[in-house]
Structure 1
Amino acid sequence: MDAGYKVFDFSEPAAGTPAQPLLVSSPHSGAEYPDDFLASSRLDAHAIRQSEDMFVADLFADIEKSGASLLAARLPRAYLDLNRAPFELEQELFEDDLPSQFNSTSLRARAGLGTVPRLVAENTPIYDGKLAFAEAEHRINKFYKPFHTALSDKLDDLQRNFGVAILLDAHSMPSQAIRHAAGRIKQPQIDIVLGTRHGRACHMFLTEQIETFLNARGLKVARNQPYAGGYITEHYGRPVKGVHAIQIEINRAVYMDERSYRRHTGFDELSATMRALVAHIVSIPDLVAQLGGTVPEGKSAAE
């Protein structure tokens, strides 16, 4: 695969728009499937998309007008899962032995859902055979690391300039899976799941603000069940250091037809809600102080 391939899209506020301490990441919405990857897969071009967070980045289009930034993957999750640690690999997928520093014991890797996944969905293998470790190493070095460097650098920049950084890590979830979970956690309907690693990745004030806003828009919100936040939320969410990360899982049935992979009439309304959510967060009075931060000397809360 071409080493010059564009790994992600990064949108920031235009000149003249005051920047805000908020970044939205969409690590699973990439839909550019490399030809050599498709050729190596046992799945057709439709089935391979089952793990893709379709249209999620589009739901947050134009948030730069509110001063926020958007980092969206272009490569698909089936090729490389950016919401994993860099070395979560499953030995079963590879023809050669993995180096000792690679974590083959994580639950995600053992389930076939590691950094280079073996499965696209439950009991649905991506490949007929095994991969060479060199292929995984190539994907991690060329595509995973640049995405996370951009993510980390932007959060550092926001925290340095504003005293806090807010990361909304946006995802989608299959409606069938969420229906099963709804019964298990005794909530009849779930449209959105907010994952905060049970409060460890995000200040409670911000979580409550987001939940209240979404509920007021008619969306049914669960917190940390069945999704408490993946690697990005866990790794980057450091409230004591002024970085607050929250995973937003959106029920696909709210905005798309899961069989045809097409948007339905709910897309525009949900997109308006997501843009309004971002605008609401950055307009909260004394946001930095509410999150326990301090605006750096010589800086304003929005500039």
Structure 2
Amino acid sequence: MNWLQVAQGQAPLIIAIPHAGTNLQDVAGQFVSSWLARHDTDWWIDELYAFAAELGATILRTNVSRSVIDVNRDPSGASLYPGQATTGLCPVTTFDGKPLYRLAEPSEGEIARRRAAWFDPYHARLEAEITRLRGIHSRVVLYDAHSIRSRIPRLFASELPQFNIGTNNGVTCDQALSTAIVDICHARGQSFVLNGRFKGGWTTRNYGRPAAGIHAVQMELAIRGYLDEASSIDETNWPPRFDPDRASPLQLILSDILKACLAFAIH
């Protein structure tokens, strides 16, 4: 599967990257524009977390755009955030509410096709990696890596904190893990929230089973932490290029967070 990249490590840590993909596959012509279809990508998250391989982490990412199918949504189509604006399994709008499709939105049959082609294989491989590492370690941390624009009025009020940590209100991981992450953010003088607007998507909620030794946490970063984020975004300035020097200070904090995840797992 050339759309799914897996770098296997032996440490008890999996970094899942579901939204960094930009490939529109065989449905590109259905979108209003390719730029709009890629607008809400978690830009350069794979570059940002590339250092995790040196920690022995397993890194799993799909290059299929979330506009084609979102592998971090409930496959039943149920909203993860009832009563709040969000996007679905096969989104029909951007985060800002702009229509993605030129003509017809995906039918139930088309959604099922996309699920079979990309969603199901992604999660089958993720489950396989969890099982492999649980065969080695008594605890495994699944870290779902995301980023998002700092201000999206349709989704949330005001400006997001830099670090948005989700554990579905403490259900998906041991409190000691979330506390360790929060303590790092606090010590480094970073704005953060635990289980605020983003409490964890399908990956975190589906796999986080602390009693079974699987501790899942979602990290939603405000994208300003590693990219220059213009106040008004258009095709001339979005996405910004990835600059390693610009990203380095945030990577140092993320490195401490991932090391804390490993320390928790091997405790």
Q: Same fold (TM over 0.5)?
A: yes
Tell me how far apart the structure 2 counterparts of residues 107 and 63 of structure 1 sit (CA, whole Å).
30
Assess, with a 3 A threshold, how the Cα gap between structure 1 residues 125 and 152 changes in structure 2: closer, same or farther. Answer: same
Percent identity over paired residues: 25
Aligned pairs for 1:117-266 within 5 A: 117-130=91-104, 131-177=106-152, 181=156, 190-258=161-229, 259=233, 260=237, 261-262=239-240, 263=242, 266=246
Runs of 4+ in 1 over 6 A off after TM superposition: none
Assess, with a 3 A threshold, how the Cα gap between structure 1 residues 192 and 111 changes in structure 2: closer, same or farther. Answer: closer
1:66 maps to a residue whose letter is L
2:56 maps to a residue whose letter is G
Tell me how far apart the structure 2 counterparts of residues 280 and 106 of structure 1 sit (CA, whole Å).
28
Please tell me whether the aligned partners of residues 20 and 43 of structure 2 are also in contact (alpha carbons under 8 angstroms). Answer: yes
> TM-score normalised to the size of structure 1?
0.77
- 3-state SS of paired residue (1:177): coil
Given the alignment, which residue of 268, 274, 284 partners 2:248? 268
Tell me how far apart the structure 1 counterparts of residues 41 and 253 of structure 2 sit (CA, whole Å).
21
Partner of 1:48: 37
Choose 1 or 2 for highest CA Rg: 1
- 3-state SS of paired residue (1:39): helix
How many residue pairs get matched?
A: 257
Partner of 1:37: 27
Deviations, residues 199-233 of structure 1 (Å, cap 9, x unaligned) = 00011101111121233333211111111111111
Instruction: Note the C-alpha offset of 1:70.
Output: 0.7
Partner of 2:14: 23
Assess, with a 3 A threshold, how the Cα gap between structure 1 residues 195 and 72 changes in structure 2: closer, same or farther. Answer: same
2:132 maps to a residue whose letter is D
- The RMSD of aligned alpha carbons is 2.6
Tell me how far apart the structure 2 counterparts of residues 152 and 138 of structure 1 sit (CA, whole Å).
21
Please tell me whether the aligned partners of residues 182 and 190 of structure 1 are also in contact (alpha carbons under 8 angstroms). Answer: no
> TM-score normalised to the size of structure 2?
0.86
Question: Unaligned stretches of 5+ in structure 2?
Answer: none
Tell me how far apart the structure 1 counterparts of residues 83 and 122 of structure 2 sit (CA, whole Å).
20
Please tell me whether the aligned partners of residues 150 and 160 of structure 2 are also in contact (alpha carbons under 8 angstroms). Answer: no
Aligned pairs for 1:272-287 within 5 A: 272-283=252-263, 287=265
